Structure 1
Amino acid sequence: MIALQLIGIGTGNPAHLTGEAIAALNGADLILVPRKENAPDLADLRRSICAAVLTRAVPIAAFDMPVRAGEDYLQAVHDWHDAIAAAWTATIRAQLPGGGTVALLVWGDPSLYDSTLRIAARLADASVRVVPGVTSIQALTAAHAIPLNPLAGAVTVTTGRLLRSHGWPGGADTLVIMLDGGCAFQDLDPAGIRIWWGAYLGMPQQALDQGPLAEAGPRIMAARAALRGRHGWIMDVYLLRKEIR
């Protein structure tokens, strides 16, 4: 039997881990670390987080992260999740043939625009526990010292893909956009919209910008491209708010 613990690790800063998360890592029999060919720093970052909080020797096993492929988005994602679950299973069986407790470090929070729980559901004979962490939304609003919602206003959390394909959702004063690799805000009419953006939140290379979308949008696009080129990867999130007249 495998007891799988999905541990939210914030945005990469060891200080974002809760006491519960640190206890869970130290109580594990194995820590799984995904390894991406195009972003090896992410595996190193997970290892450095473990080094900062572990008080006992816990084995760490890396696995090669499958690559998503296919033109049909939903089918490609389902196939990708199947492949990731198979990689987890093979690594766990090799390291813990008799079963045990396995910890997997998850950026932000496993429940918010993250498919780790859907992948975990594919594992046979495994119980799942989620240890929540600081989300990128919390880190973003804290970094800019702003409230998430306007007074008596609604907030919609969505993705860059949906913003680009469907535009601004009706009824929302504020949008939080996640998983946006293409700066979908550039497709909006910027009049009356303000943006707050953050990348590598809470980390030494943290980058922030904010202002009217018409002015800040081009700066953010340029900064994002430069940062991705410099580091080889980027994790960012932004908040859009319409002016209330």
Structure 2
Amino acid sequence: MRKIYVIGIGAGDPDHLTLQAAKAIGRTDVFFLLDKGEEKESMIELRRRLMKAYGRPSRRVVTGTDPARDRTPADYEGTVADWRSRRSEVVEALISEHLLADETGSFLVWGDPSLYDSTIAILDEILARGQTLFEYEVVPGISSVSALAAKHRTGLNRVGQPFEVTTGRRLAEGWPAGVDDVVVMLDARQAFAAYPEAYVCWGAYIGTPDEILMSGVVAEVGDEILRVRAEARERHGWIMDTYLLRRG
């Protein structure tokens, strides 16, 4: 039976890699990469560094093209489901063609595979079709959420209180009920600006040499975050940022 590892590699710092992840990389025969275009080449480069540092000399690397998708769809859930289905077809073809019987393949996932990543769902979709068989194991990684809290030297929750992890799209619809502390990911619309009284701990490219950190009351630092964020996105061609929004 072919085996696949889904390996969380951390938020961007090579030192985020856990011993468990390093050992899984060392057992891998074939690494699968999805090309997202030149603008995200730096994300691929970290994966190459980790493969070189911990992988077998005989390792193979195969690359597929990540399907494009509409980033501002009218039907968000339907668009994402369609994109995942098309992505699963690309991934299935790579596994079928390049992973031999009794070999081990790996996907190196940015951050942690359990948090806003599609790899697990895609592998489950492939298995559900019943045409390509394998077993898989998930190796957790340091997420941008935990790295953000560490960089800002803060906890995610206050004493005895819950917190929620959500997206910028959902925050734009309103502050989540029942919590005063909200971690926000995938925020292309900078929804924090609607809460000037809240305190924000913001970070972009966390763990990389391009890391940017800012914090303060939104009314005082919000405009500067927007300016810095726009400049960084223009400079790099992409941005990954996360923030903790806190009120009360």
1:141 to 133, 138, 149: 149
Instruction: Give SS of 2:90's match.
Output: helix
Q: Deviations over 1:93-115 (max 9, x none)?
A: 22224462110011111111222
Within 5 Å, give how 1:44-193 maps onto structure 2. Answer: 44-54=45-55, 56-69=57-70, 71-98=74-101, 100-124=103-127, 125-165=133-173, 167-188=174-195, 190-191=196-197, 193=198
Does 2:13 correspond to 1:13?
A: yes
Counterpart in the other structure of 1:235: 240
Paired amino acid for 1:18:
T
The farther-off stretch of 52-61 and 226-235 is 52-61
- 3-state DSSP of counterpart to 1:142: helix
Cα separation, partners in 2 of 1:19 and 1:119, compared to 1, 3 Å? same
- Equivalent pairs, count: 240
- Residue segments in structure 1 that go unaligned for 5+ positions in a row: none
Deviates more, 1:69-78 or 1:132-141: 69-78
Contact 1:14 1:52 in 2 (8 A): no
Kindly indicate whether the alpha-carbon contact (under 8 Å) linking 1:6 and 1:103 is maintained by their aligned counterparts in 2: yes
1:14 is displaced (CA, Å) by 1.4
Change (3 A) 1:242 1:130: same
TM-score, normalisation: structure 1: 0.92
Quote how far apart the aligned CAs of 1:46 are: 1.7
Q: Which residue of 1 aligns with 2:219?
A: 214
Tell whether the 8 Å contact from 2:205 to 2:241 is kept in structure 1 after alignment.
Answer: yes
CA distance in 2, matches of 1:57, 1:203: 28
Kindly state the Cα deviation for residue 44 of structure 1 after the two structures are TM-superposed. 2.4
In 1, the alpha carbon distance for the partners of 2:40 and 2:210 equals 16
Identity %: 40
Structure 2 letter corresponding to 1:16: H
Q: For the residues of structure 2 that align with 1:73 and 1:42, how far apart are their CA atoms?
A: 25
Task: Return the alpha-carbon distance in structure 2 between the equivalents of residues 71 and 173 of structure 1.
Answer: 30
SS in 1 for 2:137: strand
Provide the aligned C-alpha RMSD in A: 1.5
Counterpart residue type for residue 156 of structure 2: L
The amino acid that maps onto 2:107 is: L
Q: C-alpha separation between the residues in 1 aligned to 2:44 and 2:28?
A: 18
Query: Conserved in 2, the CA contact under 8 Å of 1:150 and 1:173?
Result: no
Q: Deviations over 1:118-168 (max 9, x none)?
A: 111012322221000101111001001111111222201111000012x11
- 1:39 partner SS: helix
* CA distance in 1: counterparts of 2:64 and 2:189, whole angstroms: 28
1:216 maps to a residue whose letter is V
Cα separation, 2, equivalents of 1:170 and 1:96: 46
Contact 2:14 2:46 (C-alpha < 8 Å) held by counterparts: no
Structure 2: runs of 5+ lacking an equivalent: 128-132
Separation in structure 2 between the aligned mates of residue 127 and residue 55 of structure 1, nearest angstrom? 21
